[in-house]
Amino acid sequence: MPIATAFDVDAIRRRFPSLSRALAGRAIVYLDGPGGTQVPDACLDGIRDYLTTHNTNTHGAFPTSRESDALIAEAHAAAADFLGGAADEVAFGANATTITFAVSRAIGRTLQPGDEIVVTRLDHDCNVAPWLALAQDRGATIRWVDVRLDDCTLDLDGLERAIGPRTRLVAVGLASNAVGTINPVRRIADAAHAVGARIWVDAVHAAPHIPIDVAALDADYLVCSPYKFFGPHMGLFWGRRELLEALPVYKVRPADETLPSRLETGTQAHEAQAGLLGTFRYLEWVGVTQGGATGEPGSADGGRAARLRAAMTAIRAYERALTPRLVDGLAAIPGLAIRGITDPARVDERCPTVAFTLDGHHPREVSQALGDLGICTWDGDYYAYELIRALGLAESGGMVRVGLAHYNTAAEIDRLVEAVAAIAHRRHSHTAGASLEER
């Protein structure tokens, strides 16, 4: 396994053109990754190449259409390698939320009144609201799982109690987009399967940080968003083949009944799939150069899955090593309170996403002041709607959220910590009256 110190972050950064953007002579610090990451050159090249050379619709009897078909098939195969599934189990869509609403509607056609769905108060509303709506429409019952507020982890005993003989689906996140907690999804999947229920995994926040393997998780459905892991704005879905084949999906009649076509309504963003292929080629390069994998990025040698896994393992090791610097640096600032896991011994239980409040300063004020310095962070609830309310922070503007990606450096963390410390020293506060619309 690669060691964190071997990670060549300068070489990584050279692959991301946007990282050279400056504000008032200083490079912008992108700590807004949980809202959407920057993209590497290969992603940009893929989009440009598609639109300049191959742009058309699918299944036509002419070269650009055949090329588009091949590219789309390749994008599905690469995404399957990224997630550990099969190419026909992968479907693209507009974003994770739209996919979750669409597939949940189809699942709803199989539910009976009195069936139960388990949801958590740690999840992004993308993995809550669609199930609430479905329960209302189908007469199903929602069982809530609470969060232990001292460290923002799921109440696992409560979760196991919430799962029972009427449970049909357990909806859970792989990692929290607010406080970074990584949930023990395999354990939750085992509990769901023990009663014959299915598990729906929201891996949107986890995907840029940790290797994902749907088989190891024993997931039934999993959704993530390429724009959160260095790709274009689009959504990515995986489901177990036998479930997807049986799913009573909403589709137009002439559309192909085979997988994945039966899941992909209308025309997809082909250029985004081309960009995503570029992102995967970039990640393969990370796997080779930083993770010790072998082979040529983008080659058809069958080693892509191993290169992608090596990339995410190297990224995880690098981010894991940086996380205590961020957590400890922020935690040492007077009046600053981090919600979530702060113990360095528990770094394996979290992603490098840290949310905090600062006494006497509205989160919008802090984020605005950082933004003025060219340091991008989020404030609000980022749609972690239940969690922010459970923490009692909805009325006070939520929290400031800082998210590391593998292109961030120790020097950037130090710059952030210094800037937050300077803000903390300002005595007065003003309430910015910001809404909680921001993710």
Ligand X SMILES: Cc1ncc(COP(=O)(O)O)c(C=O)c1O
> Which residues here bind ligand X, judged by CB under 6 A?
34, 95-97, 124, 126, 173, 177, 202, 204-205, 225, 235, 439
Do the bridges between strand 26-27 and strand 22-23 make them parallel or antiparallel, or are there none, so unpaired? antiparallel
Nearer to ligand X, 205 or 281 (CB): 205
Closest CB 357 distance from ligand X, rounded Å: 20
SS3 label, residue 23: strand
Nearer to ligand X, 100 or 408 (CB): 100
Nearer to ligand X, 229 or 285 (CB): 229
Nearer to ligand X, 404 or 423 (CB): 404
| H or E element at residue 318 | helix 304-331
Closest CB 202 distance from ligand X, rounded Å: 5
Nearer to ligand X, 129 or 333 (CB): 129
* Gap between the Cα atoms of 415 and 408, Å rounded: 11
Closest CB 34 distance from ligand X, rounded Å: 6
Chain centroid to Cα 193, Å, comes to 24
Is the separation of the CB atoms in 104 and 237 below 8 Å? no
Nearer to ligand X, 167 or 225 (CB): 225
Please name which of 129, 111, 109 lies closest in space to residue 119, comparing C-alpha atoms: 129
Closest CB 429 distance from ligand X, rounded Å: 27
Counting every residue written for the chain, the total comes to 439
Closest CB 99 distance from ligand X, rounded Å: 8
Chain centroid to Cα 86, Å, comes to 20
Residue type, 146: D
One DSSP character per residue, 419-436 reads: HHHHHHH----------S
Closest CB 103 distance from ligand X, rounded Å: 13
Closest CB 216 distance from ligand X, rounded Å: 20
Phi (first) and psi of residue 394, to 5 degrees: -65, -35
**Is the alpha carbon torsion for 221, 222, 223, 227 positive or negative?**
negative
Nearer to ligand X, 95 or 408 (CB): 95
For residue 436, give every residue at least 6 positions away whose Cβ sits within 8 Å of its Cβ, in sequence order, or none: 380, 381, 388, 394, 397, 398
Angle between helices 304-331 and 270-289 (to 10 degrees): 80
* Gap between the Cα atoms of 209 and 224, Å rounded: 12
Is the separation of the CB atoms in 351 and 206 below 8 Å? yes
Nearer to ligand X, 173 or 278 (CB): 173
SS3 label, residue 400: strand
Nearer to ligand X, 125 or 155 (CB): 125
Is the separation of the CB atoms in 405 and 34 below 8 Å? no
Closest CB 181 distance from ligand X, rounded Å: 11
Q: Which residues of 369-403 are buried (b: 16+ CB within 10 A; e: fewer)?
A: bbbebbbbbbbbbbbbbbbbebbebbeebbbbbbb
Closest CB 141 distance from ligand X, rounded Å: 23
